[in-house]
Structure 1
């Protein structure tokens, strides 16, 4: 998978994304510096584009790390109870700390996401028969239990509508001043680059990596912490984006192999390419109205996921 081709496609889709919307913007508007159109670009279109790119990079890298350290291609923040735990954390923050800042809500969500991810890893260690499909199914079951707890609390405190609107993957409400929290995921991606070789070793198994002198538990804990923090930041900023962290690493490793260091850049490029495509598709299907990116990514992602399952069992 050529990096320059992915970069070229990303640039093309980024340009297209800037000019698609209810308010039409043309090149002449930018050339003649028309004030109202320039404001739309800087207050809405550019923040939306940046948030899509950053969220796409973060969630794709998170999925790649999860798959590496669990040695399973169908594990991701979606199928490892990470997103569901982050959702529960947001709900708890709304109930107990409704007046705190968004950053504090993100920290609470991060703690819950971290606990949920570690709980999944503990359960995974107890399972002897680690089939490629059984492991993510366990994660989905754990996530469903956590999600049911969140739903119960939401009904009890009359917050169903708040949680549903908050967590539905949607970039239409992203404007200047409401997406900057996503920047936290950028240094986390750089840390993932620095520890790429160690994550690759950890993916070879605990006994093997320890024999090579790797502090296995430290590396795995770091990987899970990175995934949990990126997931909580994305969920609290733009909502739940299904399948992104699952299908993108699978497609990349299909062509690149399993060396995490070699896969980081293609994954970091392909993630926002897929997310931008889904976002543009959602904006043009029923123009001038929008379909949320959670729906378009969910439909396309599920089709790709089914193909990956069939291909693996073929």
Structure 2
């Protein structure tokens, strides 16, 4: 028997499932956070933490290393996942993300420029230069998309391939310059996501990511309207191009900050938004909190796995995330081709 009001039933269904997903994600994030602060090469005794208070060794380890690392994973993961989601809505393609649009690679270019011309500069200055390069890279990507015939811009495979080729060319040039000036080791630390170097005083820039995520949530309805296309959005009274440009800039800045602090996180901005979209639909107001929590859970989970799989050694976060993300990305590509 069909429900008396099927429309109302359908409207309420995503909200209930969204709430359950959000609560479940937060609980899983809490568990992973507790595990994260308790594991590591150095011994950590929670009992000693309570007994000695702020003067004990466990408290210093807790506040200087374990908590900053956990918060960095949560903030960076949330930021990259949300960046991927808003980029996908702006370009109207499911397979666009910071790593498949060249944004991450251009952020690394900014760090390379700082290392070449101002090696002793502050972390804030590095973030500003990397952000400027990331914004420029996103603009180049959008410009290349505009050169395509309109009938091709909606092709699920063509758009990310353009971004991957752009990122490949930029990455190759960056590697050559780094090799020429003996900066390959530094380049490796930027391109490989790794939380082992995160300490108190070195991750605080990531709180800017949290602020941008909050602003994007407040503008979620505008972004949802913009994802309907220029004609529809303009007809509804929205300044389409301004909204898209500001959104892409926000995504680029979040990407750059994450690269400066923790390095590149491959496929994160691709996998999480696609999974949440399949479960929740395209209403960004409802899905954005779950995307943020999902990105944090995936990042923190991969970090925990990397710390225990070869204990007491660590597998870099980007390696674990690359394996997971590449597999999911391949499945999404194949399904997109089958539907096309």
TM bin (shorter chain): over 0.9
1:32 is paired with a residue of what secondary structure? Answer: helix
Q: Deviation string for 1:49-92 (max 9, x for gaps)?
A: 11011101111110000000110010000001100000111101
Unaligned 5+ residue runs, structure 2?
1-17
Q: Tell me, yes or no, if structure 1 residue 30 matches structure 2 residue 49.
A: yes
1:73 maps to 94
Match of residue 193 from structure 1: 217
**Cα displacement (A) at 1:24:** 2.4
Q: Deviations over 1:128-166 (max 9, x none)?
A: 212101100000001111112211211221111121123
Residue 182 of structure 2: SS of its match in structure 1?
coil
Partners of 1:253 and 1:172 lie apart in 2 by 32
Tell me the CA shift for residue 194 of structure 1: 1.5
Give, in angstroms, the shift of residue 175 of structure 1: 0.7
How far is the alpha carbon of 1:240 from its aligned partner? 0.6
d(CA) in 2 for partners of 1:139 and 1:161? 25
3-state DSSP class of the match of 1:80?
coil
Distance (whole Å) between structure 2 residues aligned to residue 33 and residue 73 of structure 1: 51
Q: Distance in 1 between matches of 2:52 and 2:73?
A: 25
Q: Distance in 2 between matches of 1:283 and 1:70?
A: 36
The answer on 1:216 being equivalent to 2:227 is no
Contact 2:46 2:58 in 1 (8 A): no
Task: Give me the whole-angstrom Cα distance separating, in 1, the residues matched to 2:335 and 2:191.
Answer: 32
Query: Contact 1:167–1:238 at 8 Å: present in 2 too?
Result: no
- CA-CA distance at 1:27 after TM superposition: 3.0
Q: Does structure 1 residue 120 correspond to structure 2 residue 134?
A: no
- Partner in structure 1 of residue 112 of structure 2: 91
Contact 1:68–1:203 (CA under 8 A) maintained in structure 2: yes
Kindly indicate whether the alpha-carbon contact (under 8 Å) linking 2:175 and 2:187 is maintained by their aligned counterparts in 1: no
Count of aligned pairs: 314
After superposition, the C-alpha distances for 1:102-148 in whole angstroms (9 at most, x for unaligned) are: 11111111111001101111111221212101100000001111112
* TM-score, with structure 2 as normaliser: 0.90
| Matching of residues 265-304 of structure 1 within 5 Å | 265-304=289-328
Q: Is the 8 A contact 2:96 2:159 kept in 1?
A: yes
Q: Which residues in structure 2 correspond to 1:150-189 (within 5 Å)?
A: 150-189=174-213
- Name the CA distance, whole Å, in 2 between partners of 1:132 and 1:73: 7
Match of 1:44 in 2: 65
Greater CA radius of gyration, 1 or 2? 2
TM-score (norm 1): 0.97
Q: Which residue of 1 aligns with 2:9?
A: none
Name 1:16's counterpart in structure 2.
Answer: 35
Aligned counterpart in structure 2 of residue 105 of structure 1, from 123, 126, 130: 126
Residue 262 of structure 1 deviates from its aligned partner by: 1.1
2:162 and 2:190 map into 1 onto residues whose CA distance is: 26
How far residue 99 of structure 1 moved from its aligned partner, in angstroms, is: 2.2
Q: Is the 8 A contact 1:42 1:176 kept in 2?
A: yes
Deviates more, 1:285-294 or 1:195-204: 195-204
How far off is 1:33 after superposition?
2.5
Is the Cα contact below 8 Å between 2:88 and 2:95 reproduced in 1? yes
